[in-house]
A and B are shown apart, each in its own frame.
Chain A
Amino acid sequence: MNWIETEVTPSSLAELSEVLGSDGGARPWMPKGGGTLLGRGALPREPVAAVQLSRCRAVIEHAYDDLTVTVEAGLPMASLQESLSERGQWLPLSLDPDPESTVGGWIGADRRTPLAGSWGSVRDYLLGIAWMDGRGHTVRAGGRVVKNVAGYDLMKLFTGSLGELGIIVEATFKVLPRPARWGGVTLATPDAIELRVALEEGPKLFPAGLWRFDGGEGDTLAWVFAGSPPCVSAQLRRAQALMNGAGRILNDEETLNLVAALERDSRPESDPVAWGGALPEWLCHPGLGAVFDSHSWCADLMRGHFWARWMGNESALERARNALRSGVGHLHLDAPSAHPLPNPWGERGDSVEILTGLKRALDPEGRFVEGRWPVSR
């Protein structure tokens, strides 16, 4: 099935509104973002008409003294980071975003990178949102200030909505000062005791990342720090001391390269990517690589995210999911191509009725794509 039947690229949000308002509804709409993560989520129930917002990419307001930025959703994440960096700021979601990926796509796909362990994910930075509903009306939630509890936090619902609730057209984020220095320590083939020390003591050093990964050279433990030079130097010393002086110190550039490499490996390219979460303690399991059946994986020991290049078959997938259950975990698959898998989510969630209700509440006319979420097919 050619699941994307047609595609429109409006030149402005006014044009998008017109298109949505006048459409007869032959095919459900689906925002496409930059098209870099179209393999996330289940194959929709029926072919869709994709909406590409690449021409709606303005930085509406960078209130740098307020540490907030408001942008149109079609702005590439890389362009946003570049714009923020001119003022010494960043959105700590990514160091090396895919050049094509858009802000709207990051929200809709709830895209996470290994930085999410320490810095949080897009939900933690999204202050306000505007979306277009099925009639082409602009609807808003949240605002442009860093603290705001007026009205429901509908930004959270759009995080991971995969285009089912409407088309995100604008987003406001809080941003942070860019760290002055990066540094890291790596330890090859950590044993069970070293992993436990990292798990127990690592967070107390306030790392920018605490990962266990295999990039093709075997099981490795990595601590990454970001901040002021004296603080990072002290963190590196302490981390190395916790590993009895055995770790290898990475300089600024090596650290940034490591983070960027782990981030790139979390994207599906030629192989699918298995991603999800488990308790951090469970991710210190000695045979973690065997669970993922992979020689390219990364586990975040701060919050419990993981990513793995997936080369296994269906039974390996079932085994991995069964194993993860003991760590209250879950595993999903991102397809490598723009063609989603029929069921990438594994178990159906236990919020089916609520999710179905929310879909009807925000898309009452059923004008947007359906069937992409982890609910019963």
Chain B
Amino acid sequence: MIDLDRDLERIVGPDGIVRDPRLRMVYECDGYTLDRAVPERVVLPRTVDEVRNVVKLAHHAGWSIVPRGAGTGLAGGTLAAPGALVIALTRLRAIETLDPMNRQALVQAGVANLAISKAALPYGLHYAPDPSSQSVSTLGGNIAGNSGGPHTLKTGVTTNHVLAVELVTPDGNTRWLGSRAPAAGGPDITGLIVGSEGTLGLVTRAWVRLVPVPPATRTLLAAFPGVDEASRAVSAILRSGIVPAAVELMDAPILEALHAAFKLEFPEHAGALLLVEVDGLEDGLDEDAEKAVEACEQSGAFRIERATTDADRRRLWMARKKAFGALGRLARNYCTQDGVVPRTKLPEMLRFISQVGHEAGIRVANVFHAGDGNLHPILLYDERNEREVRAVLEASARILEKCLELGGSLTGEHGIGVEKLALMDRAFSAESIAAMDRVRRVFDPDRRMNSGKAIPEGGGCFDGRAGLGRVRPGREVPL
């Protein structure tokens, strides 16, 4: 009789399997904590061959597979379905080739995003997508989610920087998709894999594009009476003809948390801060920065601080970087949403978020990529309080539905995961979902790859409870 668990151990070795139930709890969720499920099996392969052999074994055993990177996702994309095998790729952490002449690197899936940039820095290059979790989030996870970040307004998101991927298909075969050289002809399959949330296969390695580090930056922090004025400034900046590297917005609750947690000081009466950065060659940069200043002032900024040194720049960014860490001062738990609206709709959307928070009786803080219209309303709650959990779920759904109503999207960079699956039929027609489902079956006819995520199963006849049996976005709560 075949002992599949013993076979698994033969492939990855005894230290490649997480058996201890307490240790497996580490894998019960990702950054989205409203849903949790302790996986039955977790493996940590060290090589591409091990990944391939594990997937082959899972194929024969009929196990479903949940790929996992560093677990920093915010939509439950790594939540384990019952009986699923979690394959964590964090031990695939080699940068195999760094080719500065062609500005490319061959990187394993478990390498942290920031490590790629650090390796490329001696050549004056970096890997441009910079999710806020970049010090730990992995390239494989970034590819699964098509991750963005504060600086992707100008440089693009993950899909703009991935040239080719090595994909382990659900039957355990390996193939390279894409090419280091451009214009290979035919449909762009690599572009389909990026952002597919691990539902089409496991990406084990990728060729990524490196770009020169901008030699100069100008950073400014503008204080506004409220989010209305700050969000209007976003459109004004873009209308001025410049393409900033980053435009980030923080509202009053965030400033309150930052002050409570880190004693950071902000201008009195500041209801919102806008962090704006322009970069490029030194020449002409001051003119670009002045255009941003003018746009902010015309939109109601009452104080603007400019960074003149690297230390100043770090200080201005500190509030943005520490924002999430400070939230513990305001609440025991938080749920970060990820809707997108056209940038001109930001004032209306922020007013709506405030109203929803008020009606739901929960606090909502906002710190987000305003330049992309990519909102991150942070809903504060206490998970021990069922009323608050329910309120968070309902408020999240209302916020995302409003994003759609305003011509936006359910998610800008976190993905659908399990969290937003129930809303996909509001965003896309049955025909569109059916087309996506048929594309999925080309790669995974048995739907064993990260099932219950990203795309509703059943080709548009979605019942809202597929896969993991959740209701609404979030946790199953007693009604």
Residues of A within 8 A of B (CB): 63-68, 88, 110, 112, 116, 120-121, 123-124, 133, 137-141, 143-162, 165, 176-177, 180, 199-200, 203-206, 227-235, 238, 275-281, 303-305, 327-330, 332, 345, 349-351, 354-355, 357-358, 360-362, 364, 373-375
Could you tell me the distance in whole angstroms from the C-beta of B407 to the nearest C-beta in chain A? 6
Given A65-B239, A148-B411, A204-B215, also A358-B187 (CB < 8 A): yes
* B177 / chain A contacts, CB cutoff of 8 Å: 351, 354
Q: Are B192 and A153 in contact (CB under 8 A)?
A: yes
Which residue of A has the minimal Cβ distance to B212?
A: A204
Most chain B beta-carbon neighbours within 10 Å: one of A148, A235, A238, A328: A148
For residue B435, give the distance in angstroms from its CB to the closest CB of chain A: 5
Which of A88, A149, A158, A374 contacts B413 (CB under 8 A)? A149
Contact across chains for B102 and A143 when beta carbons are under 8 A apart: no
Given A148-B340, A280-B101, are A304 and B431 neighbors across the interface (CB < 8 Å)?
Answer: no
Write the nearest CB–CB distance from A370 to chain B, whole angstroms: 13
B-to-A contact residues, CB < 8 Å: 100-103, 124, 145-146, 148, 152, 156-157, 159-160, 175-177, 179-192, 194-196, 209, 211-212, 214-215, 235, 238-239, 241-243, 280-285, 287-288, 340-344, 369, 372-374, 407-416, 420, 424, 427-429, 431-433, 435-436, 438-443, 454-455
User: With A65-B239, A149-B145, A280-B102 known to touch, is A156 a contact of B182 (CB < 8 Å)?
Assistant: no
- With a CB–CB cut-off of 8 A, which chain B residues contact A205? 281
Given contacts A154-B192, A206-B280, A329-B181, contact A148 B409 (CB under 8 A): yes
Q: Which residues of chain B have C-beta atoms less than 8 A from A152's C-beta? A: 192, 195-196, 436, 439-440, 454-455
Q: Which residues of A contact B455 (CB under 8 A)?
A: 151-152
Residues of A with C-beta under 8 A to B235 = 65-66
* Contact A233 to B187, CB < 8 A, known contacts A139-B432, A330-B181, A357-B442: no
- Cα separation A158 to B283 with both chains bound (whole Å): 40
| A158, chain B: closest CB distance, angstroms | 7
Expressed in whole angstroms, the minimum distance between the Cβ of A127 and any Cβ of chain B is: 10
Contact of B436 among A148, A154, A350, A355 (CB under 8 A): A154
Nearest-neighbor residue (CB-CB) of A155 within chain B: B191
Output the nearest chain B residue to A142 by Cβ-Cβ distance.
B409
What's the A-B contact tally at a CB cutoff of 8 Å?
Answer: 277
- Contact A143 B409, beta carbon cutoff 8 Å: yes
Given that A330-B184, A349-B186, A373-B186 are known contacts, is A154 also in contact with B241, CB under 8 Å in the complex?
no
CA distance A137 to B282 in the complex (A): 52
Chain A residue numbers with a CB within 8 Å of B427 are: 143, 150-151
Q: Which 3 A-B pairs have the closest CB atoms?
A: A156-B191, A231-B284, A234-B283
In this complex, the member of A138, A162, A177 whose beta carbon has the largest number of chain B beta carbons within 10 angstroms is: A177
A sample of 11 more A-B contacts (CB under 8 A), given A276-B185, A345-B185, is A68-B342, A124-B160, A143-B409, A144-B408, A148-B411, A160-B188, A177-B243, A203-B212, A228-B284, A332-B183, A361-B441
Could you tell me the distance in whole angstroms from the C-beta of A266 to the nearest C-beta in chain B?
11
Docked Cα-Cα span, A206 to B188, in Å, equals 26
Please measure, in the bound complex, the distance between the C-alpha atom of A157 and the C-alpha atom of B438, giving whole angstroms.
Answer: 13
By beta carbon, the residue of chain A nearest B374 is A147
Contact check, B342 vs A145: say whether CB atoms are below 8 A apart.
yes
A146 to B410, CA, bound (A): 13
A374 touches B340 (CB 8 A): no
- List 14 A-B pairs, Cβ < 8 Å: A138-B429, A139-B432, A150-B427, A151-B455, A153-B196, A159-B187, A200-B101, A227-B280, A231-B280, A231-B285, A275-B183, A303-B182, A350-B175, A364-B438
With both chains docked as a complex, state the minimum distance between the C-beta of A285 and any C-beta of chain B, in angstroms.
Answer: 13
Would you give the shortest CB distance from B391 to chain A, in whole angstroms?
Answer: 24
Question: B373 contacts which of A146, A162, A180, A235 (Cβ < 8 Å)?
Answer: A146
Q: Which residue of A lies closest to B197 (CB)?
A: A149
Residues of A within 8 A of B152 (CB): 147
How distant is the Cα of A38 from the Cα of B410 in the complex, in angstroms? 38
Chain A proximity of B279: nearest CB distance (Å) = 10
* Chain A: minimal CB distance from B163 (Å): 9
Most buried by B among A140, A149, A206, A231: A149
Residue of A nearest to B438 (CB): A361
Give complex CA distance A151, B440 in Å: 11
CB-defined contacts of B212 to chain A, threshold 8 Å: 203-204, 206
Across-interface contacts of A227 in B (CB, < 8 A): 280, 284
Specify the chain B residue showing the minimal Cβ separation from A131: B435
Q: Which of A153, A204, A355 contacts B159 (CB 8 A)?
A: A153
A66 touches B146 (CB 8 A): no
In the assembled complex, which residues on chain B have CB atoms less than 8 Å from the CB atom of A278? 181
The answer to whether B429 touches A140 (Cβ under 8 A) is yes
Residues of B within 8 A of A350 (CB): 175-176
Q: How far is the CA of A277 from the CA of B179 in the complex (A)?
A: 9
CB distance from B390 to the nearest CB of A (A): 24
Give which listed residue, A88, A146, A279, contacts B102 with CB less than 8 A. A279
What are the residues of chain A within 8 A of B146 when measuring CB–CB?
A: 149, 153
Neighbouring A residues of B239 by C-beta, 8 Å: 64-65
| A65-B235, A139-B432, A150-B416 known; A361+B439 contact, CB < 8 A | yes
In the complex, are the beta carbons of B287 and A230 less than 8 A apart? yes
Given the interface pairs A149-B413, A330-B181, A355-B189, the reply to whether A133 lies near B436 with Cβ below 8 Å is: no
- In the bound complex, what is the Cα–Cα distance between A305 and B439 (angstroms)? 29
Do residues A351 and B189 form an inter-chain contact, with CB atoms below 8 A? yes
Q: Smallest distance from the beta carbon of B216 to chain A beta carbons, Å?
A: 11
Closest to A176 in B: B243
Across-interface contacts of B180 in A (CB, < 8 A): 279, 328
Q: Please pick, from A66, A158, A206, the residue contacting B344 in the complex, using a CB distance under 8 A.
A: A66
Chain B nearest CB from A293 CB (Å) reads 19
> B12: shortest Cβ distance to chain A, in Å?
28
Instruction: Point out the residues of chain A lying under 8 angstroms from B432, CB to CB.
Output: 139-141, 151
Across the interface, B181 reaches (CB within 8 A) one of A110, A147, A279, A360, namely A279
- B residues in contact with A65, CB < 8 Å: 235, 238-239, 343-344
Q: How far is the CA of A141 from the CA of B371 in the complex (A)?
A: 23
- Find chain B residues with CB under 8 A from A235 CB: 281, 283
Contact indicator B413/A147 (Cβ below 8 Å) = yes
Complex formed: what's the CA distance from A357 to B192 in Å?
A: 14
- The answer for the CA separation of A149 and B428 in the assembled complex, in Å, is 13
Q: Which of A66, A68, A141, A345 has the most CB of B within 10 A?
A: A66
Among A67, A137, A332, contact of B185 (Cβ-Cβ < 8 Å) = A332
Bound Cα distance A364, B435 (Å)? 10
Which chain A residue lies CB-closest to B403? A145
Which A residues are CB-close (under 8 A) to B185? Answer: 110, 160, 276, 330, 332, 345, 349, 373-374
Note all chain A residues with C-beta closer than 8 A to B195.
Answer: 149, 152-153
Contacts known (A144-B407, A153-B191, A351-B175); A110 close to B183, Cβ less than 8 A: yes
